[in-house]
Amino acid sequence: MNELPNNPEKPNMGGPVVPPESYVTPAPAGPGEPRVPEGTRVGGLLQKPQNVAILALAILLALQTYSTHSRFNKLREDVARTLQKDNASNAETAQAVREIQEAAKELQVKVGVLESRQTEAQSQQAALEQMYQDISKNRDEWALSEIEQVLSTASQQLQLAGNVQGALIALQNADRSLSRSDKPQFITIRRAIARDIEKLKALPSVDQPGIALRLDNVISQIDNLPLLSDEKPAEPIAPSRVNAFAVAGKAAAPADRTLAQRMTETWRNWSHEMWDDIRQLIRVRTVDNPDALMLSPSESYFVRENLKLRLLNARLALLSRNEGTFRDDINSAQQQLVKYFDTKARSTQAAQALLRQVQANNVTIDVPDLSESLNAVRNYKSKP
């Protein structure tokens, strides 16, 4: 009787090959028969491709679920941190919005003035356009009309925005345009333009970048300036110093001094030491504003931030050439330094010196108009 091969994968050289599907699954062992181990069954399950694929898919699903859960937790933590930062930013933004609203109210008045000037400029522009249509195509007349328009625009910018450099460039371009013509009639106009150029060159210059840099320097030092409420008591005198005094006194005294002299010297040294200790317990100061000594840490923070806002407003007023607002903000900043900060500290004194230098500069200057050049051009054009 032929026996089944032990390894079904190897071909049977001595008999017919039995396919795997024809194998008979052994029945469960009876009470008297040997029992097949459980590991052999698990191995048989793993030999099937379907079971291996299902097991691999289950492992992948478990890994994907764990990864998704970890990413969700991380995303939730990031959202919580972002919300906390947004809340802090919203509080700071609200304070900045209130300051901007106050500045916007002041700017609205200026905008009204600028709008009226703009309307006037638009009407002048319409008149110039009508004049361009009425005048002849003569080259000199066109040149004079263009020069008049350029000078009129430069004069408006000079009066409204104090643009001295722009007005100077406009006058120089007008003189260059007239120099291309050889007509002697233009000499009068060129003389008037030359006088206006000299007036503009003689104006004092406003060092806006330098003033802005000094203000930025003061703003950067505010966090390090000592407050009156931050002052600490003076350190006691080191024992080595007192002992040095005593040793020096003993060395200077003669060796044969009496008991009374020794007792007197001992009492003097002891009284000096006691007096030094008492001076550390009681300190007398003169403060104009007692509330400045009782600032809490949060109030100290707001004092520094308010001082920064004052200096930032002064910087904006400098750029907009608002002399009144600039002076008021600098004066308020100096008053806050005197009121809340230790003016005996070198850093505070340096900040006050910088503010005095800034305050000594002129933000606005009295600029002349270009009426002489404009009148010379208009008088020439009005001649028959």
HSE at residue 345, side-chain half, CA atoms within 13 A, is 18
Distance CA 280, CA 334 (A): 32
Structural domain count, the chain: 2
The pLDDT value given to residue 384 = 62
Whether residues 133 and 216 share a domain: the answer is: no
Whether residues 210 and 343 share a domain: the answer is: yes
Residue 351 covered by a domain? yes
Torsion of CA 312, 106, 204, 118, to 10 degrees: 130
Q: How many residues does the chain have?
A: 384
Q: Give, as one character, the DSSP assignment of residue 186.
A: G
The pLDDT value given to residue 25 = 46
Residue 83 covered by a domain? no
The pLDDT value given to residue 331 = 92
Whether residues 147 and 227 share a domain: the answer is: no
Whether residues 142 and 223 share a domain: the answer is: no
Whether residues 357 and 232 share a domain: the answer is: yes
Whether residues 134 and 229 share a domain: the answer is: no
Torsion of CA 195, 196, 201, 202, to 10 degrees: 70
The three-state DSSP-derived secondary structure of 31-47 is: CCCCCCCHHHHHHHHHC
The pLDDT value given to residue 70 = 86
Whether residues 145 and 186 share a domain: the answer is: yes
Residue 171 covered by a domain? yes
Residue that the structure tokens 């609203």 belong to? 101
Whether residues 229 and 349 share a domain: the answer is: yes
Whether residues 218 and 340 share a domain: the answer is: yes
Distance CA 269, CA 237 (A): 14
Q: Where are the alpha helices (DSSP H) in 24-180?
A: 38-46, 49-134, 139-161, 164-179
The pLDDT value given to residue 294 = 64
- Report yes or no on whether pTM surpasses 0.85: no
Whether residues 329 and 306 share a domain: the answer is: yes
Q: Where are the alpha helices (DSSP H) in 282-384?
A: 297-319, 323-340, 346-359, 371-382
Whether residues 320 and 223 share a domain: the answer is: yes
User: If 0-12 CB within 10 Å is exposed, 13-18 middle and 19+ buried, where does residue 139 land?
Assistant: exposed
The pLDDT value given to residue 308 = 92
Residue 159 sits in which domain range?
116-204+367-382
The pLDDT value given to residue 305 = 92
Residue 348 covered by a domain? yes
Q: Is 341 helix (H, G, I), strand (E, B) or coil?
A: strand
Residue that the structure tokens 């110093």 belong to? 241
Residue 106 covered by a domain? no
Residue 267 covered by a domain? no
Q: Give, as one character, the DSSP assignment of residue 66.
A: H
Whether residues 336 and 224 share a domain: the answer is: yes
Which CA distances in Å does 72 have to 66, 78, 250? 10, 10, 80
Axis-axis angle for helices 139-161, 371-382 (nearest 10): 150
Residue 340 covered by a domain? yes
In contact, 337 and 348? CB cutoff 8 Å: yes
Residue 50 covered by a domain? no
Distance CA 5, CA 18 (A): 9
Residue that the structure tokens 């006088």 belong to? 195
The pLDDT value given to residue 33 = 46
pLDDT tens digits in sequence order for the chain, 384 residues long? 444 444 444 444 444 444 444 444 444 444 444 454 554 555 555 567 788 888 888 898 888 888 888 888 888 888 888 888 888 888 888 888 888 988 888 888 888 888 888 888 888 888 887 775 565 456 677 777 888 888 888 888 777 766 777 788 888 888 888 887 767 778 888 888 888 888 888 877 777 778 888 899 999 999 898 888 765 544 444 444 444 444 444 444 444 568 888 888 888 888 888 777 676 665 555 556 666 666 777 888 888 999 999 999 998 888 777 888 888 999 999 998 988 888 888 999 999 999 998 888 777 777 777 888 888 888 877 776
